Amino acid sequence: MDLKQIDYFLALAREGNMTRAARQLNVVQPALSMQIGRLERHFGKSLFDRTPHGMHLTPAGRTLLEHAAAIRREVDRTTEEMSRLDGRISGRVAIGMITSAAQSTLASSSAKVAERYPEIRLLVCEGYTDTLVEWVGAGNIDGAFVNMPKVPASLAGHAVLEEDMMFAFGAGNARTFPKRVSLDTVAGLGLVIPSRRHGLRKILDDAASEAGFVLKPRLEIDTLSAVCEIVATTDLVTVLPGVALYRALADRRLQARKIVGPSVSRSVAWVTNPRRIVSAAVTAVVDIIADDLISAASAAARAVR
């Protein structure tokens, strides 16, 4: 067993799909299958159950996952410590990000990491809060940016950002909206929001429930960039955090209003596993991403009229 096989195994365990794992590793699928087959022959056990719905770890695979993740962490930590002897920050950083963060500032943040820290190898996984928290707890990633209420007691949560959810509509929308819009008024419009699997939807549903009504959206779409595009080109409207809206607001394709009665906010946290040492490389990456998220939220807040 070598490090390449460990990396291939970890990627497949994380993705649960041969095609996605191969894409993440930047290899062809037969190469990934071959390495997984070698691992299974080495241990004399099946590591994955192959089903029409994906690849699922067997009991042997779950045992290997625990040890393989620990091996990879120790190798990365050793590599980083050796590099730091020369004053360099390097190593592999694997983080998770909720959709609203990943689809807004990730591109610019990643470019900054690449420019400032050329010896950092960055892996970013996008997902729902529940999934990301599970990965952090299992040691599959170094940490994750998630919606704060979902942080379990077994993990360490560090507040990054608290921002208001905003009512947004296309710049060409035929209707005129006041500077302050109540949540129940929004509920009566053609609303486009994420599905109930999405953390932002739970925040919206909880706020509506507390106000005594139920949201009945026209469209439910989890890809927030698509939500913004639909709202910008139709008379439909949305409620999203400023981080998800700020690019469209800056381009003047959307306009936004504050929500009142009640106001709705969300908190973003950086979550880590207390049993895992946070490296200098992880800290450097997190600082860049957090700063960009805060800047995006502030820019969106300034754009609200």
Query: Is there a domain that residue 132 lies in?
Result: no
- Residue ranges making up the domain that contains 51: 1-88
> Does some domain include residue 232?
yes
Does a structural domain hold residue 301? no
Q: pLDDT digit string (tens) for 32-86?
A: 999 999 999 999 999 999 888 888 999 999 999 988 888 887 887 787 777 667 6
Asked whether residue 192 is domain-assigned, the answer is yes
130 located within any domain: no
- pTM above 0.85? no
Phi, psi of 147 (to 5 degrees): -75, 130
Work out how many domains the chain is built from and give that number.
2
| DSSP state letters, 230-246 | HHHHSS-EEEEEHHHHH
Q: Which of 36, 54, 88 is the last residue of a domain?
A: 88
CA angle 170, 174, 255 (to 5 degrees): 30
Residue 70 counted as domain residue: yes
Strand ranges (E), the chain:
48-51, 54-57, 91-97, 120-126, 143-147, 156-170, 180-182, 192-193, 219-220, 237-241, 254-260, 265-272
What's 208's domain CATH number?
3.40.190.290
DSSP state for residue 178 in the 8-state scheme: -
CATH number for the domain including 22?
Answer: 1.10.10.10
> pLDDT tens digits for the chain (305 residues)?
888 999 999 989 988 889 988 888 889 999 999 999 999 999 999 999 988 888 899 999 999 998 888 888 788 778 777 766 766 788 889 999 998 888 889 999 999 999 999 989 999 999 998 899 988 988 889 999 998 866 677 889 899 999 999 999 999 998 999 999 998 888 889 999 999 988 899 999 999 998 888 999 999 999 999 999 999 999 999 999 999 998 999 999 999 999 987 789 999 999 998 877 788 889 999 999 999 999 999 999 988 86
Kindly state whether residue 244 falls inside one of the protein's structural domains: yes
Residue 138 covered by a domain: no
